[in-house]
Amino acid sequence: MESVFITLVFVLAGLVKGVTGMGLPTVAIALLSLRMAPLEAAALLIVPSSVTNVWQLAAGPALYPLWQRFRWTMLAICAGVAGAAWLGAAAWSGMVLGLALAGYGLLGLTGWRLQVARRHQRWAGPLCGAATGLMAGVTGVFVMPVAPYLQALDLDKDDLVQALGMAFTVGTLALAGMLSLRGAWHVAAAGASLLALIPSLAGMWLGQWLRGRMPPALFRRCFFLALLALGVHQLARVL
């Protein structure tokens, strides 16, 4: 039954990724954490998240210019993950995960967007990156706050998708390094993560098929409602 549950989680997470272009690790961690610790769930995500994010990163038109613009943000993500490893905050990871999921769900439902002036991006980017890395190192979720931050900038659609892919790729690789150092990323975990790639890709294919057959706004609303509900449930479990 455990393997069936994990397979269904990755199919659903891949479906969300296929429809919206993001959300695979967020949905997978949120659901898997109902049965296991967040960082144990994160170990299963390394291969599916890496493959899908590298594809998203490579598909865009302006990789090097985006790296030049956001390199300090990306390096700060790595520093944040390292900081989380040093803190060893596993005891309160469930609460942080619940707050992150509920906050992201509320942010998506309200449609509120940050506005960050260009003159503030020099310091706001690294600060956001460090916070994202810290969040990833504690919960395995690396969408907050980097996704809302990048959405607040003057990026066109293709650049935004590629910049998100870059941030998620860097976060995944940094998290893999941290888990390896802590002994949570080993041969058995790597094999299970590789197997999880199959349902993830199947879900992505299904999501891409659904994208043209249902209103994306409706799907996103359901997605954020589900994250809010999972976040509240996670908080109820740990409080």
**Is residue 182 within 8 Å of residue 137, measured between CB atoms?**
no
Question: How is residue 165 written in tokens?
Answer: 């892919």
Tell me whether the omega of the peptide bond preceding residue 61 falls within 30 degrees of 0, making it cis: no
Which pLDDT belongs to residue 111? 75
Q: What was the pLDDT predicted at 74?
A: 96
| pLDDT score for 216 | 66
Cα distance between residue 31 and residue 208, in whole Å: 21
* Spatial contact of 3 and 199, defined as CB atoms under 8 Å apart: no
Using CA atoms, how far apart are residues 19 and 14, in angstroms rounded to an integer? 9
In the chain, the number of structural domains is 1
Residue-number span of the structural domain to which 155 is assigned? 2-238
Instruction: Determine the Cα–Cα distance for residues 194 and 44; give it in Å rounded to an integer.
Output: 8
- pLDDT by 10s per residue, the chain, length 239: 688 899 999 999 888 877 776 778 888 888 888 888 877 888 888 888 888 778 777 766 778 889 999 999 999 999 999 988 777 655 667 788 888 888 888 888 887 777 888 888 899 999 999 999 998 888 888 888 898 899 888 788 778 878 888 998 899 899 888 888 877 666 677 788 889 999 998 988 888 787 667 776 777 787 788 788 878 887 887 77
What local confidence, expressed as pLDDT, does residue 133 receive?
93
Please tell me the predicted confidence (pLDDT) of residue 89: 55
Scanning the structure block, which residue is given the tokens 């269904």?
8
What is the SS3 assignment for 213?
coil
Pairwise CA distance, residues 225 & 9, whole Å: 17
In angstroms, the CA 167 to CA 75 distance is 10
What pLDDT is recorded for position 140? 82
CA-closest candidate to residue 104, choices 8, 13, 232, 16: 232
What whole-number distance in Å separates Cα of residue 126 and Cα of residue 55?
24
For 30, 195, 238, the CA distances from 39, given in Å and listed in that order, are 11, 18, 16
User: End-to-end CA distance of the chain, in Å?
Assistant: 28
Claim: this prediction has a pTM higher than 0.85: no
Peptide bond before residue 25 is cis, with ω within 30 degrees of 0: no
Tallying the residues shown for the chain, one arrives at 239
